[in-house]
Amino acid sequence: MYGPLGWGLGAVSALVVFLVARAALRHAAARPPRPVSALADRLVRPRPRAAVRMHRAALAVRRRYAPSALPGRPERAARRDALVEAERAARALRAACAASLVILLLGLVPAAAVLAVWAVWLAWVPWAPSPAEVSATLITFRDAMLSAAALGAATGLVCAGLVALTRDLRRITVRRPGPPVVPAVAALVAVDDGLRTPPFRLARAVGELCRALEAYAERGGHAPHHERWVDLTVHARAVGRALHEAEGAVWKDPDDALPRLVLLLGTVNDRIHDRRWLTLLDDADLPVAPPEPEAPASAGEPGTRPGRWSGVVQQAAVVLPAVAAVGALVFSTITVQQTNDNLRIAEQDTVANRFNTAAGNLAHRSPNVRLAGLFLLERIIQDSPRDQTTILQLLCSYVRDHAPADPSRPAVGRRWEDVAEDVRQAVIIIDTYGDNGVAYDLSGVRLPGLSLLIDLGGFDFSGAQLPGADFMHANLSQAVLTDADLRGADLRGADLSYAFLDGADLRGALLDGAVLTDITYSSKTRWPEGFKIPKTTGLLGS
């Protein structure tokens, strides 16, 4: 029904809507609105049993592999309560993300239904009673494209909803707002479970802890200043490398490496609870970082770490040249535009001056000066096509003024060569550039033997003396030939449909093959001897 263009438009619409809806759904799954988060935080209750079991399992692992680093009883109770609250906050945030995703999905369902109904409404005539009548009432091109776009948009919404239901709703990843307490305890529990399960269980738990530490550091953590935030990020990455190295060594030599990994994880747990973010591990436990090229010192003390404004300065050093280049480009564009405007204004002034000069030459008494003015007008037509119609109308007025019809002086027997040279030149210019769909006024002119090759439809030749004119195969439809002298004119094959011939003198004219459909004439119209007037003509009252 739609054709290749319609199906292509539908596919593009489906892809665009799918990407937009997918981005909206993922945003809803990652950052729920505040009302939804507040409601979930109120409704979600703590699960102390699960948190206590996790806490006890972590303590059992530490007691088995690193008993010397166990915290005291008061600290254990405080950390147990903190673990219960952190686990509840994480579940509340997951519930808020899931709720916001479901709410947005429920909003997409009626939108997809409305688009589908609209597509069907545009594609088919709903009141057609039979398939034959439906196929006979095909839709227009515009409705087909709209229907294809609507159907594609509905398909994109449905696909985005299905992907969200099958993936995002089951795999909601939450950026926890608080310290990574739960991942740290889960990594300790996974040490005991990892020895009885495939090794990826322990590796995944340690990896989640490292990612949580780095994400918390990148968001600033509890560091209010830029310098502390940089130190926190560097330290979190170093801790992640140390934990990964210790976890990898477990599978090579578990007897020696496992106690070290438990000791490191226990230290990280303790210092997370104590909020010692810059000493999650001691320097002796951190791996040696690969040497990095020295960064240039800040503008303050030599050899010191860059200050809080160093990032801004570096970004400014990168951005300012680009801004300068864009400004130069904008300035160049404005300058070029202004130059073009000035050139256009100067060109218009030049054309106006030349036009005034040519008009003054046309009023001169010398024929040679008038010819020079005509040639100058022709050059202006070539240089400024938008002034073509105005100049041609001026030339028609010039012909009417310098070659007026004179009923007291018959023009029969005169030739084209008898017309003044400047008038002939004006007619030649009109014949060269006048084929632009404009009906010009040549009424009341005396031009024996006139021959024009342009489209003469709608031209006004009323009262003109045109004996012996050559209008063979010319288009004179709707032309005004009222009281025109066309004696001896060659009108063979000419199109005179809807022409006005009231009072025209056509004696001796050749009308073989001429189209005279719906012409208007009167009893004053003089026809060639023996000519039979067609029936499809209109006779005016005499």
* Joined tokens for residue 307: 């200050």
**Tens-level pLDDT at each residue, the chain (542 residues):** 555 666 666 677 777 777 777 777 777 666 677 777 777 777 777 777 777 777 777 778 878 777 776 776 667 677 777 777 777 777 777 777 778 777 777 777 788 788 777 777 766 644 444 444 444 444 455 566 667 777 777 787 788 777 776 666 655 544 445 678 888 888 888 877 655 555 577 788 888 888 888 877 766 555 445 556 677 788 888 888 888 888 888 777 777 777 888 888 888 888 877 777 777 787 777 776 555 444 444 444 444 444 444 544 655 565 566 556 655 655 665 676 677 777 878 888 888 888 888 888 888 889 899 999 999 999 999 988 888 999 999 999 999 999 999 888 877 878 888 899 999 999 999 999 988 888 899 999 999 999 888 888 899 999 999 999 999 999 999 999 999 999 999 999 999 999 999 999 999 999 998 998 889 888 899 999 888 877 656 655 54
pLDDT tens by residue, 159-173: 877 777 666 665 554
- Domains present along the chain, CATH in parentheses: 181-274 (no CATH), 403-539 (2.160.20.80)
Residue 479 contacts residue 471 (beta carbons within 8 Å): no
* Joined tokens for residue 351: 């054309």
CA distance 119 to 149: 8
CA distance 425 to 71: 114
Q: Any idea of the CA torsion for 392, 396, 401, 406, to the nearest 10 degrees? A: 170
* Joined tokens for residue 49: 């049993």
